[in-house]
Amino acid sequence: MQTSGVSDSTYAQIVNPGPWPRSFRPYCANASANSAAPCPWNDSLPDNPSQLYPNSATVVAAMFASSNVLLPGDWSISGDYNHAAYLASAGDHLVTVTCSAYCGVSQATFAIPAGARAAGGNDGHMAIIEPDGTEWDMYQAGSYTGQTSFTVTGLYRTSILGSGQMPGGGATSGAALVAGAIRSDELANGLIPHALFATTNCVSGNYIYPGGSQGNLCTSGTGPPMGARLQLTLTDSQINTMGLPAWEAAILHAMHDYGIYILDTSGGGSPGALYLRFESQTQYAAYNLAYPYSTMGLNISAFDNLLPWGSDFRIVSSCYAQETCTQ
């Protein structure tokens, strides 16, 4: 496994909307297994896990029968289904947010930067990190334009230094909004020291930790559970021999070292691809800055077809996320 050398103590150095500091990794990490307070996003997997999810090979084969792992190729604001996140300061104005449907909290008043905007896609995700580390996660928050009160469809409270898992599902089906995004500074540095967040077409009807609620169901009944953790079977040494660009190798290393959690669905019907989460386009556009990924020369098509994904992934047991595995 690659070592990261990062710390959870520097969230206060986040600057809207620039790349987050490399010394910051959201959410907790345990030096040794702690089932009483697991840290599913930042704890690594063994190279060859012995404990797998039942019928792992069958589920993976169904997932990739017609699709691949996808990087987002649509950099438009209207197609932004990533999770916009901002750090509030003590000087930002207080906003009263009322929740109408999916409510971990029915109403709360907290600081939001006036320039912050929800992601432009229909989900309208927006996360606000308060100066004390409290994270407010919102769903369909697109009506916010700097006013002192507005209504959202979903509202949940967590901490940027907590587990990153949301009981009851949160604004996604189990993850805090900042969890698992591939950040531009990580790609530039060639190191992603955490698990990845992915959306897929549909799920089986079950959910496992850190999944916390349900999504769109596969009509066949064969699909991954919400919260499934996929691991790339290629080892770090095998990835290193492939001669890939640093950004591409970084994603593969993260897929092997930490895995990919499925924590949202994009439709229904048949199982399908994994759509990886990146920083939000809107997060940069809200402050009139260029979206860094659009100029990084990412070869999206080549990555999508890089490997026979259906045979190069396995689904590991949820005991790894819960830190109860015997291995």
> 64 Cβ partners below 8 Å, 6+ apart?
273, 309, 310, 313
Please state, in angstroms and as integers, the Cα–Cα distance from residue 319 to each residue in 121, 165, 253, 323, 324, following that order: 34, 15, 21, 6, 5
Quote the pLDDT of residue 4. 43
pLDDT tens digits, 265-323: 987 777 777 899 999 999 999 999 999 988 888 888 888 888 888 899 999 999 999 99
Give the whole-angstrom CA distance, residue 210 versus residue 187.
25
Q: How confident is the model at residue 219 (pLDDT cuts 50, 70, 90)?
A: confident
Average pLDDT value over all residues in the chain: 91
pLDDT tens digits, 53-108: 999 999 999 888 877 787 776 677 888 999 999 999 999 999 999 999 999 999 99
Buried b (16+ CB within 10 A) or exposed e, 248-284: bbbbbbbbbbbbbbbbbbeeeebbbbbbbbbbbbbbb
Give the whole-angstrom CA distance, residue 165 versus residue 267.
23
Quote the pLDDT of residue 84. 96
